[in-house]
Amino acid sequence: VDDSIESIMEMGIAKASYLSKWAGGLGGSWTQVRGLGAIIKGTGGRSNGVIPFLKIHNDMLVAVNQGGKRNGSGAVYLEVWHSDIYSFIELRRNTGDERRRTHDTNTAVWIPDLFMKRVLNREHWTLFHSNEVSDLHHLYGQEFEKRYLEYEELAEKGVIYGKRVEAIDLWRNILRMLYETGHPWITFKDACNYGNPQDHVGVIHSSNLCTEITLNTSNDEVAVCNLGSVVLDTHVDDNGVINEDLLARTIKIAIRALDNVIDINFYPIPEAERSNKLHRPIGLGVMGLHYALYKAGIPYDSDEATQFGEKLIETVSYYAHYYSVLLSKEKGAYSTFEGSKWSKGWLPCDYINILEEKRGLPTGINGISCNQDRWKELRRLIKMYGIRNSNVMAIAPTATIANIMGTSPSTEPLFTNLYVKSNFSGDFVIWNHYLEDYLRKHNLWQDNVIKLIVYYDGDIEKALKGLVDEDTFSYFCTMFKTAFQVSQFRLIEQAAYRQKWIDQSQSLNIFYSGNSLKELSEIYLYAWQRGLKTTYYLRTIGASRIEKSTVHKSEIAPEQNETYLQPACRLDDPNCESCQ
């Protein structure tokens, strides 16, 4: 959205409503809209800033739902040097002036490396009126840093507006609001652009509604990305071995299908059609990683899981890009292929090296190498035939479709082993059927155990404590850790290893059960240091609980039920007195 009333109302409101009507999930950059108090040359007055327009955008999403079937959904992005940033990060707050709140819009901050470095070094940070520093939003990396320092000098001399704050103070305010409301999401501008294969024709100014899409946008291009996800656990054999032949066949069909959508799709606005047909990006993702780990007998919170997960994503990445190349051989490369990173022999795993070189800091990411023979061959094929799609992979959140497919969401650990999901169709009990399988194998699938699991909201540690021997207890607690029990540093590390193989990004929720701002800061600093491009919601333990109306406390409480500590057994065991 440009800094003019025409762009704000036409692109930011009107055309956004057309997209919302046709079930579009919106992500937009509002950084170029000038901040509160900036001079309006045409009238000589002063601007009310970006916040009132975001309020209008929010109300548009409420008014124009997705085809009358779902609420409108949108995310708005603002760079952290914008003069309205402090007001922006409070948009989702439940207190304060309701005229400056957007309860139905997701918010995200677009953060350059320079800000993160100043947070680490406890240095100052300068906020600007974006209309006076109009080129900053289009720059990244060293070019951004050079220009930003020049603008800081001009601000110190009083030539332009500049408000000096402490970087750590702004960072803490972002984290406080994130903890309180789950917003703003934290996304990293430079990382997104360093990994952009299309840097020869544009700049990534923001991500999308769910932070997994990293595509160029401009005045005449609205980025579009068709998404689909492979169910990983159905491509892992019962012995835990990846069925690569089956995975290859699935991906071959998926890539062709996603590419076909580009040509047959309906586009509500010309800017979307122009962009999509020019660059032909698609976003093949995955779901069912946690279920795949169950099949392999690997705990999510383990080094083995990191290695297994990277191998899976590396395999998906190879075939996704390989079949996009074969489509290019058949139908031709996308129109802006020449001059792209692809045309110069780049592959997604080269992103980490570029990031470390540009940033001057190590990520600590290593492991599988792109120097394997098949990746060398893929580089050769891309140079020979091009590639059909400017971008090929992105890992989206898949909460509802994962439930439909009977698998685990995206690449995340399970939220819990038992919970109630609510949507427009009603309430559904979601149950970890792998837990049931494991309980049956250990002769623990019985009424009192089930009631304990329900009572403790799927928490296996609490449910089995004192009920089984120490080895069995330790095994179940390790194998069935849920999202809030898994180390968030482990979660980020696994995402960082996946990022090596993804040419866009991934929706990564952070699950935090503590209340320490320092620890929260360490988690997000770790995400930046490890080379993640984006993060998604900060999830805290909420009020969602499984219905317990059929379980009375007297049925499970050890002080009221002497059978609580009886050895477990199978309900259908003919030799067991309890079963009989």
Q: Which residues are catalytic?
A: 208, 210, 212
* Contact of 202 with 217, CB cutoff 8 Å: yes
The Cα–Cα gap between 527 and 492 comes to 6
Query: Cα 479 to chain center, whole Å?
Result: 24
Q: Work out whether strand 163-166 and strand 185-188 pair parallel, antiparallel, or are unpaired.
A: unpaired
Task: Say whether 3 sits in a helix, a strand or coil.
Answer: coil
| Amino acid identity, position 168 | I
Q: Burial, 422: exposed, middle or buried (Cβ in 10 Å; 0-12, 13-18, 19+)?
A: exposed
Residue pair 409/398 in contact (Cβ under 8 Å)? The answer is yes
As given in the structure block, the two tokens for residue 476 are 């179940």
Please check whether residue 529 is in contact with residue 540, taking contact to mean a CB–CB distance below 8 angstroms.
no
Q: Is 185 helix (H, G, I), strand (E, B) or coil?
A: strand
Phi and psi at 86, nearest 5°, equal: -65, -40
Q: Which among 139, 493, 41, 461 is positioned nearest to 307, based on CA atoms?
A: 493
SS (H, E, C) 261-289: HHHHCCCCCHHHHHHHHHHCCEEEEEECH
Amino acid letter, residue 105: T
Give dist(CA 413, CA 539) in Å, integer.
13
Q: What is the 3-state secondary structure (H, E, C) of 334-361?
A: CCCCCCCCHHHCCCHHHHHHHHHHHHCC
User: How many angstroms separate the first and last alpha carbons of the chain?
Assistant: 71
In 3-state terms, what secondary structure has residue 17? helix
Chain position carrying tokens 């800081």 = 152
Distance separating alpha carbons of residues 103 and 94, to the nearest angstrom? 8
Q: Where does residue 561 rank: exposed (0-12), middle (13-18), buried (19+ CB within 10 A)? A: middle
Nearest to 113 by CA among 143, 86, 90, 88: 143
Under 8 Å between Cβ of 451 and 556: yes
Longest dimension (CA), the chain: 91
Half-sphere exposure of 238 toward its Cβ, with a 13 Å CA cutoff? Answer: 1
Secondary structure element (H or E) that encloses residue 229, with its range: strand 226-231
Residue found by looking up tokens 């548009």 in the block: 60
Q: Which residue has the tokens 């900060």?
A: 538
Instruction: Tell how strand 418-423 and strand 426-431 pair up.
Output: antiparallel
Which tokens is 337 given?
């292929």
Amino acid at 237: D
Beta bridge partners of 431: 418
Distance CA 182, CA 92 (A): 9
Angle (CA) 542-524-354 rounded to 5° is 140
